[in-house]
């Protein structure tokens, strides 16, 4: 076994995290949990950015993560705001109940 923890390992970990998040987003029907799955995917991107920054020895990757954190915070606030305004009127809605608009 090679005695070095390579950035590649972190990248593979991030890829798995991204896959789990994407899977969850596709199968779960509770909007709150779908938001959480998006957070998982964003974290996969963060992990990749930092691992790549380490590999490349370039601080820009870490700066990008900083921005993602800020944006994710704003995104969650807005998403939950929209959700609250819906669910207050209709408790227990799932993504499938939101079927007023048919594709």
Partner 1 sequence: MSDATFLEFVVFFSAAVMILGGAVGVITMKNPVHAALGLVLTLFGVAVQFVAMQAHFLAAVQVIVYAGAIVVLFLFVIMLLGVDESMDLSIEPIPIQRPLAAVMAVGLVGLVGAAIVRARDALIIAPGDGIATAADAGTHDANIKQLATNLYGDHVFAFQLTSVLLIVAVAGTVLLTRKWPKDVADTESSDA
Partner 2 sequence: MIASLLAQAGDWTSPSIDWAALAPEIVLAIGVNIILLLDLQLAETKKWAIATITGFVLLGSFVAVVVLAVTGDGARSLFDGRYVVDDYALILKALFLLAAYVVVLLSQTELEEGGYYQGEFYVLLVCSVLGMVMMASARDLVSIFVALELLSIPAYMMAAWNKRNRKSNEAGIKYYLLGVFASAVLLYGMSLLFGATGSTKLTDIGAALLDGDLIGLDVVAVVFVVCGFAFKISAVPFHQWAPDTYEGAPTPVTAFFSVATKAAGFVALMSVVFIAFPGADGVYQPLIWVMAALTMTFGNVLALRQTNIVRMLAYSSVSQGGFILMPLAFAGEPGVGPAALNAVIVYLIAYAFMNLGAFAVVIAVTRKTRSGEISSFGGLFSYAPGLAVAMTIFFASLAGIPPLAGWFAKFNAFKAVLDAGTTAAYVLAAIAAVNTVIAAAYYMRVLRVVWMDEAPDGDTSPVKSPAPVVAALAITVLGTIVLGVLPNLIARAGAIDALTGAFAG
Site for partner 2 in 22-61 (CB under 8 A): 25, 31, 34-35, 38, 41-42, 44-46, 48-49, 51-52, 55-56, 58, 60-61
Residue 103 contacts partner 2 per CB under 8 A: yes
Q: Are 50 and 65 in contact (CB under 8 A)?
A: yes
Residue 54 exposure: Cα atoms within 13 Å on the Cβ side: 12
Pick the closer one to partner 2 by CB: 3 or 90.
90
Q: Which does 103 bind (CB under 5 to 8 A by kind): partner 2, partner 1, none?
A: partner 2
How many angstroms separate the CA atoms of 88 and 61, rounded? 40
């Amino acid at each position: 076994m090679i005695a070095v923890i390579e950035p590649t390992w972190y990248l593979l970990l991030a890829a798995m995290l991204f896959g789990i998040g994407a899977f969850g987003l596709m199968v779960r029907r509770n909007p709150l949990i779908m938001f959480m799955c998006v957070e998982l995917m964003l974290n996969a991107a963060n992990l990749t950015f930092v691992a790549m920054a380490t590999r490349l020895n370039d601080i820009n990757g870490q700066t990008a993560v900083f921005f993602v954190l800020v944006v994710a915070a704003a995104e969650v606030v807005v998403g939950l705001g929209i959700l609250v305004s819906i669910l207050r009127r209709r408790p227990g809605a799932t993504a499938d109940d939101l079927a007023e608009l048919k594709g």
